Structure 1
Amino acid sequence: MSTSTLDVPGALAAPPPPTTPPRRRTTGGSRLSFLRRWISPVALVGLWQLASVSGVLEERKLAAPSQIFATAVELIADGTLGPATLVSLQRVGFGFAIGAGVGLVLAVIAGLNRVGNDSVDPIMQMLRTLPHFGLIPLFIIWMGVGEAPKVALIAMGVAFPLYLNTLAGIGGIDTKMLDAARSMNLTWGQRLRHVVIPGALPQTLTGLRQSLGIAWLSLIVAETISASSGLGYTINLAREFQRTDIVVVGLAVYSILGLVTDAIVRNLERRALAWRS
Protein backbone atom coordinates (compact mmCIF):
# COMPACT_ATOMS: atom_id res chain seq x y z
CA MET A 1 0.00 0.00 0.00
CA SER A 2 1.35 3.39 -0.92
CA THR A 3 1.69 5.99 1.76
CA SER A 4 0.60 9.57 1.03
CA THR A 5 2.99 12.39 1.54
CA LEU A 6 0.98 13.68 4.52
CA ASP A 7 1.39 10.29 6.35
CA VAL A 8 5.17 10.38 6.29
CA PRO A 9 6.64 12.09 9.35
CA GLY A 10 8.45 15.28 8.49
CA ALA A 11 7.12 15.34 4.95
CA LEU A 12 6.17 18.71 3.56
CA ALA A 13 2.54 19.37 2.74
CA ALA A 14 1.67 19.77 -0.89
CA PRO A 15 1.52 23.44 -1.87
CA PRO A 16 -1.97 24.83 -2.49
CA PRO A 17 -3.02 25.26 -6.09
CA PRO A 18 -2.15 28.66 -7.49
CA THR A 19 -4.94 31.17 -7.26
CA THR A 20 -5.91 33.22 -10.24
CA PRO A 21 -5.62 36.94 -9.48
CA PRO A 22 -8.82 38.91 -10.00
CA ARG A 23 -9.09 40.39 -13.41
CA ARG A 24 -8.98 44.10 -13.66
CA ARG A 25 -11.40 45.87 -15.87
CA THR A 26 -9.58 46.95 -18.96
CA THR A 27 -9.93 50.34 -20.51
CA GLY A 28 -11.50 48.77 -23.57
CA GLY A 29 -14.14 47.05 -21.43
CA SER A 30 -14.99 50.30 -19.66
CA ARG A 31 -15.25 52.11 -22.97
CA LEU A 32 -17.51 49.40 -24.34
CA SER A 33 -19.73 49.63 -21.27
CA PHE A 34 -19.92 53.41 -21.69
CA LEU A 35 -20.94 53.04 -25.32
CA ARG A 36 -23.60 50.45 -24.45
CA ARG A 37 -25.23 52.93 -22.09
CA TRP A 38 -25.77 55.30 -25.00
CA ILE A 39 -27.58 52.76 -27.19
CA SER A 40 -31.03 53.10 -25.60
CA PRO A 41 -31.03 56.95 -25.41
CA VAL A 42 -29.91 57.24 -29.06
CA ALA A 43 -32.51 54.67 -30.12
CA LEU A 44 -35.21 56.57 -28.23
CA VAL A 45 -34.30 59.84 -29.95
CA GLY A 46 -34.28 58.04 -33.30
CA LEU A 47 -37.79 56.66 -32.71
CA TRP A 48 -38.92 60.11 -31.63
CA GLN A 49 -37.57 61.65 -34.84
CA LEU A 50 -39.16 58.90 -36.93
CA ALA A 51 -42.54 59.38 -35.26
CA SER A 52 -42.36 63.13 -35.88
CA VAL A 53 -41.36 62.80 -39.54
CA SER A 54 -44.05 60.21 -40.25
CA GLY A 55 -46.75 62.36 -38.68
CA VAL A 56 -47.54 59.97 -35.83
CA LEU A 57 -46.39 62.61 -33.35
CA GLU A 58 -47.89 66.04 -34.06
CA GLU A 59 -45.57 69.04 -33.89
CA ARG A 60 -47.96 71.04 -31.70
CA LYS A 61 -47.77 68.28 -29.08
CA LEU A 62 -44.04 67.64 -29.23
CA ALA A 63 -41.53 68.99 -31.72
CA ALA A 64 -39.06 66.71 -33.48
CA PRO A 65 -35.50 66.40 -32.09
CA SER A 66 -34.11 68.05 -35.23
CA GLN A 67 -36.41 71.03 -34.71
CA ILE A 68 -35.48 71.24 -31.03
CA PHE A 69 -31.78 71.25 -31.89
CA ALA A 70 -32.30 73.96 -34.51
CA THR A 71 -34.29 76.03 -31.99
CA ALA A 72 -31.55 75.66 -29.38
CA VAL A 73 -28.95 76.94 -31.86
CA GLU A 74 -31.25 79.84 -32.73
CA LEU A 75 -31.85 80.77 -29.08
CA ILE A 76 -28.11 80.73 -28.42
CA ALA A 77 -27.39 82.83 -31.51
CA ASP A 78 -29.97 85.53 -30.75
CA GLY A 79 -28.82 85.86 -27.12
CA THR A 80 -31.97 84.50 -25.47
CA LEU A 81 -30.77 81.26 -23.90
CA GLY A 82 -27.50 82.48 -22.36
CA PRO A 83 -28.85 85.31 -20.17
CA ALA A 84 -31.87 83.21 -19.12
CA THR A 85 -29.53 80.40 -18.02
CA LEU A 86 -27.31 82.81 -16.07
CA VAL A 87 -30.33 84.21 -14.21
CA SER A 88 -31.42 80.70 -13.24
CA LEU A 89 -27.90 79.79 -12.13
CA GLN A 90 -27.76 82.90 -9.98
CA ARG A 91 -31.03 81.99 -8.26
CA VAL A 92 -29.87 78.44 -7.58
CA GLY A 93 -26.52 79.70 -6.30
CA PHE A 94 -28.04 82.13 -3.80
CA GLY A 95 -30.73 79.70 -2.67
CA PHE A 96 -28.30 76.82 -2.33
CA ALA A 97 -25.78 78.87 -0.35
CA ILE A 98 -28.42 80.04 2.11
CA GLY A 99 -30.09 76.65 2.48
CA ALA A 100 -26.81 74.74 2.79
CA GLY A 101 -25.49 77.17 5.39
CA VAL A 102 -28.64 76.92 7.51
CA GLY A 103 -28.83 73.13 7.19
CA LEU A 104 -25.19 72.54 8.11
CA VAL A 105 -25.15 74.93 11.08
CA LEU A 106 -28.36 73.51 12.54
CA ALA A 107 -27.11 69.94 12.02
CA VAL A 108 -23.91 70.69 13.95
CA ILE A 109 -25.87 72.35 16.77
CA ALA A 110 -28.32 69.45 16.99
CA GLY A 111 -25.68 66.76 16.56
CA LEU A 112 -23.10 67.90 19.11
CA ASN A 113 -25.30 69.12 21.94
CA ARG A 114 -28.28 67.41 23.59
CA VAL A 115 -29.90 70.74 24.46
CA GLY A 116 -29.38 71.87 20.86
CA ASN A 117 -30.91 68.64 19.57
CA ASP A 118 -33.95 69.03 21.80
CA SER A 119 -34.35 72.63 20.64
CA VAL A 120 -33.62 72.35 16.92
CA ASP A 121 -34.60 68.87 15.79
CA PRO A 122 -38.33 68.95 16.67
CA ILE A 123 -38.81 72.15 14.67
CA MET A 124 -36.85 70.83 11.70
CA GLN A 125 -38.77 67.55 11.74
CA MET A 126 -42.07 69.41 11.70
CA LEU A 127 -41.05 71.82 8.97
CA ARG A 128 -39.62 69.14 6.69
CA THR A 129 -43.01 67.42 6.49
CA LEU A 130 -44.55 70.54 4.98
CA PRO A 131 -44.74 70.54 1.16
CA HIS A 132 -42.56 73.56 0.58
CA PHE A 133 -44.16 74.20 -2.80
CA GLY A 134 -47.40 74.78 -0.89
CA LEU A 135 -45.75 77.71 0.88
CA ILE A 136 -45.45 79.72 -2.33
CA PRO A 137 -48.59 81.81 -1.66
CA LEU A 138 -47.27 82.71 1.80
CA PHE A 139 -43.84 83.55 0.42
CA ILE A 140 -45.42 85.86 -2.14
CA ILE A 141 -47.51 87.56 0.57
CA TRP A 142 -44.49 87.95 2.85
CA MET A 143 -41.83 88.85 0.27
CA GLY A 144 -43.66 90.04 -2.83
CA VAL A 145 -43.12 88.71 -6.34
CA GLY A 146 -39.44 89.55 -6.76
CA GLU A 147 -36.38 87.37 -6.30
CA ALA A 148 -36.77 86.80 -2.55
CA PRO A 149 -39.57 84.18 -2.66
CA LYS A 150 -37.80 82.24 -5.41
CA VAL A 151 -34.52 82.13 -3.47
CA ALA A 152 -36.39 81.25 -0.26
CA LEU A 153 -38.15 78.35 -1.96
CA ILE A 154 -34.85 76.95 -3.22
CA ALA A 155 -33.18 77.46 0.17
CA MET A 156 -35.97 75.63 1.97
CA GLY A 157 -35.71 72.69 -0.42
CA VAL A 158 -31.95 72.51 0.08
CA ALA A 159 -31.79 72.83 3.86
CA PHE A 160 -33.65 69.70 4.98
CA PRO A 161 -31.83 66.92 3.06
CA LEU A 162 -28.48 68.42 4.03
CA TYR A 163 -29.57 68.79 7.66
CA LEU A 164 -30.88 65.21 7.95
CA ASN A 165 -27.86 63.58 6.30
CA THR A 166 -25.30 65.64 8.21
CA LEU A 167 -27.10 64.97 11.50
CA ALA A 168 -27.08 61.23 10.74
CA GLY A 169 -23.38 61.43 9.89
CA ILE A 170 -22.57 63.16 13.19
CA GLY A 171 -24.67 60.62 15.07
CA GLY A 172 -22.69 57.80 13.46
CA ILE A 173 -19.33 59.04 14.73
CA ASP A 174 -17.80 56.69 17.30
CA THR A 175 -18.19 58.27 20.74
CA LYS A 176 -14.71 56.99 21.63
CA MET A 177 -13.28 59.35 19.04
CA LEU A 178 -15.05 62.31 20.62
CA ASP A 179 -13.97 61.20 24.11
CA ALA A 180 -10.38 60.89 22.91
CA ALA A 181 -10.55 64.40 21.44
CA ARG A 182 -11.80 65.77 24.77
CA SER A 183 -9.11 63.92 26.70
CA MET A 184 -6.51 65.54 24.44
CA ASN A 185 -7.94 68.94 25.45
CA LEU A 186 -8.82 69.83 21.87
CA THR A 187 -10.90 72.96 21.53
CA TRP A 188 -14.43 72.84 20.14
CA GLY A 189 -13.18 74.10 16.78
CA GLN A 190 -10.39 71.51 16.68
CA ARG A 191 -12.82 68.69 17.49
CA LEU A 192 -15.09 69.94 14.73
CA ARG A 193 -12.25 70.06 12.22
CA HIS A 194 -10.41 66.84 13.05
CA VAL A 195 -13.21 64.53 14.23
CA VAL A 196 -16.71 65.74 13.34
CA ILE A 197 -16.18 66.91 9.77
CA PRO A 198 -14.21 63.82 8.60
CA GLY A 199 -16.65 61.50 10.35
CA ALA A 200 -19.79 63.12 8.94
CA LEU A 201 -18.38 63.91 5.49
CA PRO A 202 -19.70 60.82 3.62
CA GLN A 203 -23.27 61.43 4.77
CA THR A 204 -22.95 65.17 4.19
CA LEU A 205 -21.87 64.67 0.58
CA THR A 206 -24.84 62.35 0.04
CA GLY A 207 -27.11 65.08 1.38
CA LEU A 208 -25.35 67.58 -0.85
CA ARG A 209 -26.26 65.58 -3.97
CA GLN A 210 -29.86 65.25 -2.84
CA SER A 211 -30.05 68.97 -2.04
CA LEU A 212 -28.76 69.94 -5.48
CA GLY A 213 -31.43 67.84 -7.15
CA ILE A 214 -34.17 69.44 -5.05
CA ALA A 215 -32.67 72.88 -5.74
CA TRP A 216 -33.21 72.46 -9.48
CA LEU A 217 -36.73 71.09 -8.97
CA SER A 218 -37.55 74.04 -6.72
CA LEU A 219 -36.15 76.44 -9.32
CA ILE A 220 -38.40 75.02 -12.03
CA VAL A 221 -41.47 75.63 -9.87
CA ALA A 222 -40.28 79.02 -8.63
CA GLU A 223 -39.59 80.35 -12.12
CA THR A 224 -43.04 79.46 -13.42
CA ILE A 225 -44.66 81.76 -10.87
CA SER A 226 -44.45 85.54 -11.29
CA ALA A 227 -41.09 85.39 -13.08
CA SER A 228 -39.97 87.94 -15.67
CA SER A 229 -36.64 86.32 -16.52
CA GLY A 230 -34.87 82.98 -16.40
CA LEU A 231 -35.44 79.62 -18.02
CA GLY A 232 -38.84 79.20 -16.37
CA TYR A 233 -40.03 82.50 -17.79
CA THR A 234 -38.85 81.43 -21.25
CA ILE A 235 -40.69 78.12 -20.92
CA ASN A 236 -43.89 79.81 -19.74
CA LEU A 237 -43.78 82.28 -22.62
CA ALA A 238 -43.26 79.46 -25.11
CA ARG A 239 -46.18 77.52 -23.61
CA GLU A 240 -48.55 80.38 -24.33
CA PHE A 241 -47.56 80.26 -28.00
CA GLN A 242 -47.50 76.41 -28.05
CA ARG A 243 -43.81 76.37 -28.93
CA THR A 244 -43.01 72.90 -27.66
CA ASP A 245 -39.52 73.11 -29.16
CA ILE A 246 -38.59 76.01 -26.87
CA VAL A 247 -40.21 74.27 -23.88
CA VAL A 248 -38.09 71.15 -24.46
CA VAL A 249 -34.95 73.24 -24.93
CA GLY A 250 -35.54 74.90 -21.56
CA LEU A 251 -36.18 71.58 -19.85
CA ALA A 252 -33.06 70.12 -21.47
CA VAL A 253 -30.96 72.98 -20.10
CA TYR A 254 -32.39 72.37 -16.62
CA SER A 255 -31.46 68.70 -16.96
CA ILE A 256 -27.94 69.40 -18.21
CA LEU A 257 -27.27 71.88 -15.40
CA GLY A 258 -28.49 69.34 -12.86
CA LEU A 259 -26.26 66.63 -14.30
CA VAL A 260 -23.23 68.95 -14.37
CA THR A 261 -23.64 70.03 -10.74
CA ASP A 262 -24.16 66.41 -9.66
CA ALA A 263 -21.01 65.37 -11.54
CA ILE A 264 -19.05 68.11 -9.76
CA VAL A 265 -20.20 66.82 -6.36
CA ARG A 266 -19.43 63.20 -7.30
CA ASN A 267 -15.92 64.23 -8.33
CA LEU A 268 -15.54 66.09 -5.03
CA GLU A 269 -16.78 62.99 -3.22
CA ARG A 270 -14.21 60.77 -4.93
CA ARG A 271 -11.40 63.14 -4.00
CA ALA A 272 -12.53 63.80 -0.44
CA LEU A 273 -13.19 60.14 0.34
CA ALA A 274 -10.19 58.68 -1.48
CA TRP A 275 -8.98 57.26 1.83
CA ARG A 276 -11.92 54.79 1.84
CA SER A 277 -10.85 53.06 -1.41
Structure 2
Amino acid sequence: MSPLVRIRVLSVLAVVVLWELLALSGAGADEFFPHLWTLFAAFGDVLTAEFAGDVGITLFQLFWGSAAGIVVGLAAGLLIGTRPLARETVEPLLVYLSTVPKIVLYPVFLLFLSVGTESKIAMAAFGAFFPVVLHTLGAVSDVRPVWLNAARLLQTGRWQRMRHVYVPAMAPTMYAGVRLGIATAIIGTVMAESKAADAGVGYRVIFYYSQYQIPQMYAVLLLVFLFSVLVAVGLDRLGRALRLGGGHRSEQEISL
Protein backbone atom coordinates (compact mmCIF):
# COMPACT_ATOMS: atom_id res chain seq x y z
CA MET A 1 0.00 0.00 0.00
CA SER A 2 1.46 3.33 -1.06
CA PRO A 3 1.87 6.20 1.44
CA LEU A 4 -0.84 8.19 -0.37
CA VAL A 5 -3.34 5.34 -0.11
CA ARG A 6 -2.50 4.87 3.57
CA ILE A 7 -3.11 8.57 4.20
CA ARG A 8 -6.49 8.37 2.47
CA VAL A 9 -7.52 5.27 4.42
CA LEU A 10 -6.42 6.81 7.71
CA SER A 11 -8.33 9.99 6.89
CA VAL A 12 -11.53 8.03 6.34
CA LEU A 13 -11.00 6.08 9.56
CA ALA A 14 -10.38 9.34 11.44
CA VAL A 15 -13.68 10.75 10.19
CA VAL A 16 -15.51 7.56 11.21
CA VAL A 17 -13.98 7.59 14.70
CA LEU A 18 -14.72 11.31 15.15
CA TRP A 19 -18.33 10.73 14.06
CA GLU A 20 -18.83 7.98 16.63
CA LEU A 21 -17.16 10.04 19.37
CA LEU A 22 -19.60 12.87 18.64
CA ALA A 23 -22.49 10.41 18.86
CA LEU A 24 -21.20 9.21 22.23
CA SER A 25 -20.63 12.71 23.60
CA GLY A 26 -24.15 12.91 25.04
CA ALA A 27 -26.41 15.97 25.35
CA GLY A 28 -28.56 14.69 22.49
CA ALA A 29 -25.67 14.67 20.02
CA ASP A 30 -26.78 11.27 18.71
CA GLU A 31 -29.82 12.99 17.17
CA PHE A 32 -27.52 14.90 14.83
CA PHE A 33 -24.75 12.32 14.61
CA PRO A 34 -26.43 8.89 14.71
CA HIS A 35 -24.39 5.94 15.93
CA LEU A 36 -22.73 4.04 13.13
CA TRP A 37 -24.88 0.95 13.69
CA THR A 38 -28.00 3.12 13.48
CA LEU A 39 -26.72 4.68 10.29
CA PHE A 40 -25.99 1.31 8.71
CA ALA A 41 -29.43 0.02 9.70
CA ALA A 42 -30.99 3.03 7.98
CA PHE A 43 -29.80 1.75 4.61
CA GLY A 44 -32.41 -0.99 4.91
CA ASP A 45 -35.13 1.67 5.03
CA VAL A 46 -33.62 3.71 2.20
CA LEU A 47 -32.81 1.02 -0.37
CA THR A 48 -36.31 0.39 -1.67
CA ALA A 49 -37.98 0.23 -5.07
CA GLU A 50 -39.21 3.77 -4.54
CA PHE A 51 -35.67 4.99 -3.96
CA ALA A 52 -34.53 3.14 -7.08
CA GLY A 53 -37.07 5.23 -8.99
CA ASP A 54 -35.64 8.38 -7.44
CA VAL A 55 -32.15 7.35 -8.52
CA GLY A 56 -33.34 6.69 -12.07
CA ILE A 57 -34.93 10.14 -12.30
CA THR A 58 -31.82 11.86 -10.96
CA LEU A 59 -29.51 9.96 -13.31
CA PHE A 60 -31.73 10.81 -16.28
CA GLN A 61 -31.68 14.51 -15.45
CA LEU A 62 -27.96 14.46 -14.67
CA PHE A 63 -27.03 12.69 -17.90
CA TRP A 64 -28.93 14.95 -20.27
CA GLY A 65 -28.07 18.11 -18.36
CA SER A 66 -24.36 17.27 -18.23
CA ALA A 67 -24.33 16.29 -21.90
CA ALA A 68 -25.99 19.54 -22.96
CA GLY A 69 -23.73 21.70 -20.78
CA ILE A 70 -20.55 19.95 -21.93
CA VAL A 71 -21.39 20.06 -25.64
CA VAL A 72 -22.39 23.73 -25.55
CA GLY A 73 -19.42 24.61 -23.33
CA LEU A 74 -16.89 22.90 -25.61
CA ALA A 75 -18.40 24.40 -28.76
CA ALA A 76 -18.60 27.90 -27.29
CA GLY A 77 -15.09 27.67 -25.84
CA LEU A 78 -13.56 26.60 -29.14
CA LEU A 79 -15.53 29.15 -31.13
CA ILE A 80 -14.69 32.05 -28.81
CA GLY A 81 -11.18 30.98 -27.83
CA THR A 82 -9.88 30.78 -31.39
CA ARG A 83 -10.96 34.35 -32.06
CA PRO A 84 -8.82 36.81 -30.04
CA LEU A 85 -11.27 39.71 -30.17
CA ALA A 86 -14.23 37.54 -29.19
CA ARG A 87 -12.23 36.01 -26.34
CA GLU A 88 -11.16 39.37 -24.92
CA THR A 89 -14.77 40.56 -25.06
CA VAL A 90 -16.66 37.52 -23.78
CA GLU A 91 -14.26 35.77 -21.39
CA PRO A 92 -14.42 38.42 -18.60
CA LEU A 93 -18.22 38.29 -18.71
CA LEU A 94 -18.19 34.49 -18.42
CA VAL A 95 -15.77 34.66 -15.49
CA TYR A 96 -18.03 37.10 -13.65
CA LEU A 97 -21.15 35.03 -14.37
CA SER A 98 -19.43 31.85 -13.19
CA THR A 99 -19.07 33.30 -9.68
CA VAL A 100 -22.84 33.65 -9.28
CA PRO A 101 -24.25 30.78 -7.15
CA LYS A 102 -26.19 28.70 -9.66
CA ILE A 103 -28.99 27.86 -7.25
CA VAL A 104 -30.13 31.50 -7.09
CA LEU A 105 -31.10 31.25 -10.76
CA TYR A 106 -33.20 28.14 -10.24
CA PRO A 107 -36.43 30.15 -9.77
CA VAL A 108 -35.86 31.52 -13.28
CA PHE A 109 -35.73 27.98 -14.65
CA LEU A 110 -38.89 27.17 -12.72
CA LEU A 111 -40.59 30.21 -14.22
CA PHE A 112 -39.93 29.10 -17.79
CA LEU A 113 -39.71 25.31 -17.46
CA SER A 114 -41.99 24.48 -14.50
CA VAL A 115 -41.16 22.13 -11.63
CA GLY A 116 -40.73 19.09 -13.88
CA THR A 117 -37.70 17.34 -15.28
CA GLU A 118 -36.85 20.13 -17.70
CA SER A 119 -35.86 22.61 -14.99
CA LYS A 120 -33.54 20.05 -13.34
CA ILE A 121 -31.89 19.28 -16.68
CA ALA A 122 -31.42 23.02 -17.26
CA MET A 123 -29.87 23.38 -13.81
CA ALA A 124 -27.41 20.56 -14.48
CA ALA A 125 -26.55 21.98 -17.91
CA PHE A 126 -26.02 25.46 -16.48
CA GLY A 127 -23.71 24.06 -13.81
CA ALA A 128 -21.66 22.03 -16.28
CA PHE A 129 -21.39 24.79 -18.87
CA PHE A 130 -19.19 27.28 -17.01
CA PRO A 131 -16.31 24.99 -15.95
CA VAL A 132 -16.20 23.50 -19.45
CA VAL A 133 -16.25 26.78 -21.36
CA LEU A 134 -13.74 28.50 -19.06
CA HIS A 135 -11.31 25.56 -19.17
CA THR A 136 -11.66 25.46 -22.95
CA LEU A 137 -10.90 29.18 -23.21
CA GLY A 138 -7.90 28.74 -20.94
CA ALA A 139 -6.69 25.80 -23.02
CA VAL A 140 -6.08 28.10 -25.99
CA SER A 141 -2.75 29.03 -24.37
CA ASP A 142 -1.72 25.36 -24.71
CA VAL A 143 -1.61 25.79 -28.49
CA ARG A 144 1.95 26.75 -29.40
CA PRO A 145 2.38 29.38 -32.11
CA VAL A 146 4.89 27.18 -33.94
CA TRP A 147 2.15 24.59 -34.54
CA LEU A 148 -0.20 27.21 -35.96
CA ASN A 149 2.55 28.65 -38.16
CA ALA A 150 3.34 25.19 -39.50
CA ALA A 151 -0.34 24.61 -40.21
CA ARG A 152 -0.60 27.89 -42.11
CA LEU A 153 2.52 27.08 -44.15
CA LEU A 154 0.81 23.84 -45.15
CA GLN A 155 -2.20 25.95 -46.21
CA THR A 156 -4.63 24.06 -43.98
CA GLY A 157 -8.19 25.30 -43.63
CA ARG A 158 -9.74 26.57 -40.40
CA TRP A 159 -11.48 23.29 -39.63
CA GLN A 160 -8.31 21.32 -40.33
CA ARG A 161 -6.42 23.49 -37.86
CA MET A 162 -9.21 23.04 -35.36
CA ARG A 163 -9.15 19.28 -35.71
CA HIS A 164 -5.42 18.62 -35.99
CA VAL A 165 -3.88 21.47 -33.96
CA TYR A 166 -6.29 23.13 -31.54
CA VAL A 167 -8.22 20.12 -30.24
CA PRO A 168 -5.21 17.78 -29.67
CA ALA A 169 -3.26 20.51 -27.87
CA MET A 170 -6.22 21.68 -25.79
CA ALA A 171 -7.65 18.23 -24.99
CA PRO A 172 -6.06 17.69 -21.51
CA THR A 173 -7.25 21.05 -20.18
CA MET A 174 -10.66 20.68 -21.79
CA TYR A 175 -11.03 17.24 -20.21
CA ALA A 176 -10.25 18.75 -16.80
CA GLY A 177 -13.11 21.16 -17.43
CA VAL A 178 -15.43 18.28 -18.36
CA ARG A 179 -14.58 16.50 -15.09
CA LEU A 180 -15.28 19.62 -13.07
CA GLY A 181 -18.44 20.29 -15.09
CA ILE A 182 -19.85 16.85 -14.30
CA ALA A 183 -19.13 17.34 -10.60
CA THR A 184 -20.88 20.71 -10.68
CA ALA A 185 -23.82 19.19 -12.55
CA ILE A 186 -24.24 16.57 -9.82
CA ILE A 187 -24.41 19.30 -7.19
CA GLY A 188 -26.83 21.37 -9.28
CA THR A 189 -29.17 18.46 -9.96
CA VAL A 190 -29.40 17.33 -6.34
CA MET A 191 -29.82 20.89 -5.06
CA ALA A 192 -32.56 21.61 -7.59
CA GLU A 193 -34.41 18.45 -6.56
CA SER A 194 -34.18 19.49 -2.93
CA LYS A 195 -35.81 22.86 -3.67
CA ALA A 196 -38.80 21.98 -5.84
CA ALA A 197 -39.51 18.39 -6.83
CA ASP A 198 -41.69 15.41 -6.02
CA ALA A 199 -39.08 12.78 -6.89
CA GLY A 200 -35.33 12.35 -7.15
CA VAL A 201 -32.46 11.85 -4.74
CA GLY A 202 -32.44 15.48 -3.61
CA TYR A 203 -36.16 15.31 -2.92
CA ARG A 204 -35.62 12.15 -0.87
CA VAL A 205 -33.02 13.91 1.32
CA ILE A 206 -35.45 16.73 2.13
CA PHE A 207 -38.29 14.25 2.65
CA TYR A 208 -36.36 12.37 5.34
CA TYR A 209 -35.30 15.67 6.90
CA SER A 210 -38.90 16.89 7.04
CA GLN A 211 -39.90 13.62 8.72
CA TYR A 212 -36.95 14.00 11.10
CA GLN A 213 -35.57 10.66 9.96
CA ILE A 214 -31.99 11.78 10.36
CA PRO A 215 -30.24 8.39 9.92
CA GLN A 216 -32.11 7.84 6.64
CA MET A 217 -31.20 11.34 5.50
CA TYR A 218 -27.50 10.70 6.17
CA ALA A 219 -27.75 7.33 4.43
CA VAL A 220 -28.95 9.02 1.22
CA LEU A 221 -26.22 11.67 1.50
CA LEU A 222 -23.61 8.93 1.89
CA LEU A 223 -24.90 7.25 -1.26
CA VAL A 224 -24.61 10.55 -3.13
CA PHE A 225 -21.06 10.91 -1.82
CA LEU A 226 -20.13 7.37 -2.91
CA PHE A 227 -21.63 7.95 -6.34
CA SER A 228 -19.64 11.17 -6.75
CA VAL A 229 -16.43 9.39 -5.73
CA LEU A 230 -17.07 6.57 -8.22
CA VAL A 231 -17.71 9.08 -11.00
CA ALA A 232 -14.51 10.97 -10.14
CA VAL A 233 -12.44 7.77 -10.07
CA GLY A 234 -13.97 6.58 -13.34
CA LEU A 235 -13.27 9.88 -15.08
CA ASP A 236 -9.73 9.92 -13.72
CA ARG A 237 -9.02 6.43 -15.10
CA LEU A 238 -10.65 7.30 -18.40
CA GLY A 239 -8.44 10.39 -18.66
CA ARG A 240 -5.33 8.32 -18.01
CA ALA A 241 -6.39 5.73 -20.58
CA LEU A 242 -6.89 8.50 -23.14
CA ARG A 243 -3.62 10.17 -22.05
CA LEU A 244 -5.48 13.28 -20.94
CA GLY A 245 -3.81 13.65 -17.58
CA GLY A 246 -2.65 17.17 -18.36
CA GLY A 247 0.34 19.02 -19.65
CA HIS A 248 1.46 19.88 -23.16
CA ARG A 249 1.55 17.32 -25.87
CA SER A 250 4.69 16.98 -27.89
CA GLU A 251 5.05 18.22 -31.42
CA GLN A 252 5.01 14.64 -32.68
CA GLU A 253 1.50 14.10 -31.27
CA ILE A 254 0.08 17.11 -33.12
CA SER A 255 -0.50 15.54 -36.52
CA LEU A 256 -1.37 17.72 -39.47
TM-score under structure 2 length normalisation: 0.85
The alignment status of 1:64 with 2:24, answered yes or no, reads: no
The alignment status of 1:88 with 2:58, answered yes or no, reads: yes
Q: 1:258 aligns with which of 208, 211, 228?
A: 228
The alignment status of 1:179 with 2:140, answered yes or no, reads: no
Task: Note the C-alpha offset of 1:192.
Answer: 2.0
Secondary structure in 1 matching 2:32: coil
Secondary structure in 2 matching 1:127: helix
Please identify, of 167-176 and 50-59, the stretch whose mean Cα deviation from structure 2 is larger.
50-59
Secondary structure in 1 matching 2:29: coil
Secondary structure in 2 matching 1:38: helix
2:49 maps to 79
Asked if structure 2 preserves the Cα contact closer than 8 Å seen for 1:212 and 1:258, the reply is: no
What is the aligned-residue identity percentage? 25
Secondary structure in 2 matching 1:80: helix
- Superposed counterparts of 1:1-277, under 5 Å: 30=2, 33-53=4-24, 55=26, 57-76=28-47, 78-114=48-84, 116-117=86-87, 120-121=90-91, 124-273=94-243
Task: Note the C-alpha offset of 1:125.
Answer: 4.1
Counterpart CA distance in 1 for 2:4 and 2:108 is: 49
Write the letter of the residue equivalent to 2:196: S
Write the letter of the residue equivalent to 1:163: V
Q: For 1:18-63, what per-residue CA distance to the aligned partner results, in whole angstroms no more than 9, with x for missing partners?
A: xxxxxxxxxxx52x65234312322331342344356455343232
Asked if structure 2 preserves the Cα contact closer than 8 Å seen for 1:143 and 1:149, the reply is: yes
Write the letter of the residue equivalent to 1:35: R
Gap change, CA 1:143 and 1:33, over 3 Å in 2: closer
Asked if structure 1 preserves the Cα contact closer than 8 Å seen for 2:22 and 2:30, the reply is: no
Please identify, of 100-109 and 179-188, the stretch whose mean Cα deviation from structure 2 is larger.
179-188
Counterpart CA distance in 1 for 2:101 and 2:12 is: 33
Q: For 1:214-254, what per-residue CA distance to the aligned partner results, in whole angstroms no more than 9, with x for missing partners?
A: 11221221011221111111111111111111111121122
Task: Note the C-alpha offset of 1:126.
Answer: 4.9
Task: Note the C-alpha offset of 1:195.
Answer: 1.1
Counterpart CA distance in 2 for 1:127 and 1:212 is: 18
Counterpart CA distance in 1 for 2:19 and 2:244 is: 42
The unaligned stretches of length 5 or more in structure 1 are 1-28
Write the letter of the residue equivalent to 2:144: D
- Higher normalized contact order (CA 8 Å, seq sep 6+, divided by chain length): 2
Structure with a larger share of its residues in helix = 2
Secondary structure in 2 matching 1:223: helix
